[in-house]
Amino acid sequence: MKQAKKTIDGEVVYRGRSMGQETWRRLKKNKGAMIGIAFLILLILATTIANFVYDYDTDIIAMSRDRFLAPCKDHIFGTDNMGRDIFARVIYGAKYSLFISLGSTAIGLLVGLFLGALAGYYGGLIDNVIMRLTDIFYSIPYIMIAVVVVSLLGTSTMSLLFAMALGTFSAFARITRASIMTVRDQEFIEAGYAMGLPTWKIIIKHVLPNCLSPIIVQTTLKVGANIISASSLSFLGVGVTPPTPEWGAMLSDGRSYIRSSGWMCLFPGLAIMFTVLALNLLGDGLRDAMDPKLKK
Amino acid sequence: MENVLEVKDLVVRYETDDGVVYAINGLSFSIERERTLGLVGETGAGKTTTAMSILNLVPDPPGVIAGGSITLDGKDVLSMSEKELEKMRGNDVAMIFQDPMTALNPVIAVGRQIAESLVIHEKISSDKAMERAKGMLEMVGISASRSYDYPHQLSGGMKQRVVIAIALACHPTFLIADEPTTALDVTIQAQVLALIKNLIDNNHMSMLLITHDLGVVAEVCDDVAVMYAGRIVEIGTADDIFNHTGHPYTEGLFNSLPNLKQKGEDLIPIKGLMPDPMRLPEGCSFSPRCPYKTEVCNSSCPSLQLVEGKHYVACSRLGFLKK
């Protein structure tokens, strides 16, 4: 859009805003998205500061004394079966949960975007080969893939990341392919060729930006889903190894004490819930803000 | 006078699963510098395929350019490499598309879409290109302040002006306009035609105007070619075609237009439909619908014959109409 600026001699000058500025301007008006962003920034800040200021081993594990303390003044989230402060563990755990879910989604997105764009734009044999391969991955439950990968590569954060990316890319490939196929036959693509644009530029500048909104929504939903997946895998014991304070692993630890000390499950569970909610709110807001057709 | 474009014996087929579509069957015409040729014909006559062939953009598969040559400014388009083609498209030859609603990218501001072509062909910075794009918008009659608007914020006529601005951005020597006014209402049509004509004259460009509207042709074109089933049946100056019609098909087209001088008269439509391009009739492809056909028309396919000056007609019974 344009921005009117009065210069000294009273002449009105119009200046454009970049795509990023414009998106931000409209995102600011969306309350849900702003709450989501605020929560995520707070979480990232807290986990970063906690990791710089305190050392997990000396400050949390070594300081543990009282076991199964209910939430109180000193330990606002209570303590667990080892006497560790749950609030501190939840904040530390954000690092692992966010890193694994963002990382696996990013890898899945890049691979899926590339494969989906190839399949959707060229069609024919390329499309068939790529999509049937994708179908194979889509048809295996992600927990199966993860268990196989983790047992092959050993239990580590990196192998968990890789396993979850394998389970993620197929959804992105499908969504990208479908939306590219609706865009590829439109006249402005032909107009791009008639203007002398090379194919790769047409795909990047004209086809992909028109497919962005479903992909953005899918991305934010996947980040949320992957937090839950990572937690589930840790809960099952194939994810992050203890004593790493990953949220799912904390849930798993608290399971045995859920009758007597429910707060051990409650707080990591709430952390997962609110983070996923924040990501979804942000995703919805981004989709609305980036679509020029929804402009008011 | 020197020719900007020369098309010789062009043959284009679409090889689909259902059979071969003979879209263009031995098409020849040329356009002189700073002249405008109107290519007229009904839907499916091969007009758009002709335009796409000139840019070597016939979708392949299923399209195959099976023969002939297209020479543009002395260079053979059909033997160019992909790199040379990219350099030629948009720079030497530009195209105005039929439907401005879909010819613009909905997620890029219109100014940037004009600038894009400049950045590619003139290798200037995107800020400089944006300044030039604003100038182009002013030239087609849109305020420069609209350059950051998206296509959905403009009306249909304005969008077509933007499409024209994109086509003219790099000052091409040759312009292809594929039914530029079909999607617009009549008042806007007149404005857009006047704009195109003005720009063509001021920039000393040549144009191929594709249309099925004879009124548009009369207003804008110096020369006219009438196309039927992938061939040119009559070509000449606008005066030749309008006042000394030589082909039964052209005559049929004029008879199906309302005539202001003889109000109340019935229109005489051309009987039948255009032949299926998968199964073209033997001999003259217009013969099944021709009111003047004889035995000869069923067996031999007539080629273009000189009538006088620059006027050529492809009919076995040449001269019949004049009597």
The answer to whether the CB of A160 falls within 8 A of the CB of A230 is yes
**Inter-chain CB proximity B103 and A188 less than 8 Å:** yes
Among the partner-chain residues B104, B106, B111, the one whose CB lies closest to the CB of A293 is B106
Beta strands B63-72 and B231-237 are unpaired
C-alpha radius of gyration, chain B, whole number = 21
Decide if pLDDT at A115 tops 70. Answer: yes
* pLDDT of res. A63: 63
B148, B171, B210: best mutation site toward chain A, by most A Cβ within 10 Å? Answer: B148
The answer to whether the CB of B147 falls within 8 A of the CB of B131 is no
Q: Which residues of B touch A209 (CB under 8 A)?
A: 105, 107-108
Q: For residue B12, what is the enclosing H or E element?
A: strand B3-16
Rounded (10°) CA dihedral B10, B11, B13, B19: 160
One-letter identity of residue B210? I
Q: For residue B36, what is the enclosing H or E element?
A: strand B36-40
Decide if pLDDT at A173 tops 90. Answer: yes
Rounded (10°) CA dihedral B181, B184, B190, B193: -30
Q: Residue A241's CB: how many other CB atoms inside 10 A?
A: 14
More reliable by pLDDT, B285 or A237 = B285
Q: Which residues of A touch B166 (CB under 8 A)?
A: 191, 195
pLDDT digits (tens, 9 = 90+) for B215-225: 888 888 999 99
Decide if pLDDT at A157 tops 90. Answer: no
* pLDDT of res. A6: 46
**Inter-chain CB proximity B107 and A2 less than 8 Å:** no
What are the two backbone dihedrals, phi and then psi, of residue B248, each rounded to the nearest 5 degrees?
-55, -35
Nearest to A219 by CA among A46, A103, A80: A103
pLDDT digits (tens, 9 = 90+) for B35-86: 999 999 888 888 888 998 998 888 877 888 888 889 988 888 888 888 888 8
* pLDDT of res. A57: 64
Mean per-residue pLDDT, B111-137: 90
User: Which residue of A lies nearest to B87 if distances are taken between CA atoms?
Assistant: A196
Q: What's the helix, strand, coil split of chain B in %, to 5?
A: 35, 25, 40
User: Which residue of A lies nearest to B170 if distances are taken between CA atoms?
Assistant: A195
Instruction: Say which range, A37-41, A292-296, B44-48, has the weakest mean pLDDT.
Output: A292-296
Instruction: Say which range, A197-201, A266-270, B165-169, B276-280, has the weakest mean pLDDT.
Output: B276-280
Q: Which residues of A touch B163 (CB under 8 A)?
A: 191
* Percent of residues, chain B, with pLDDT higher than 90: 15
Q: Which residues of A touch B85 (CB under 8 A)?
A: 196
**Inter-chain CB proximity A209 and B107 less than 8 Å:** yes
**Inter-chain CB proximity A187 and B94 less than 8 Å:** no
User: Would you call A188 helix, strand, or coil by DSSP?
Assistant: helix
Mean per-residue pLDDT, A68-93: 77
Q: Which residues of A touch B178 (CB under 8 A)?
A: none
pLDDT digits (tens, 9 = 90+) for A1-11: 444 444 444 44
> Tokens in use for A183?
């865009």
**Inter-chain CB proximity B152 and A293 less than 8 Å:** yes
Q: How far is CA A148 from the centre of its chain?
A: 23
Cα end-to-end span (Å), chain B: 33
**Inter-chain CB proximity A197 and B116 less than 8 Å:** yes
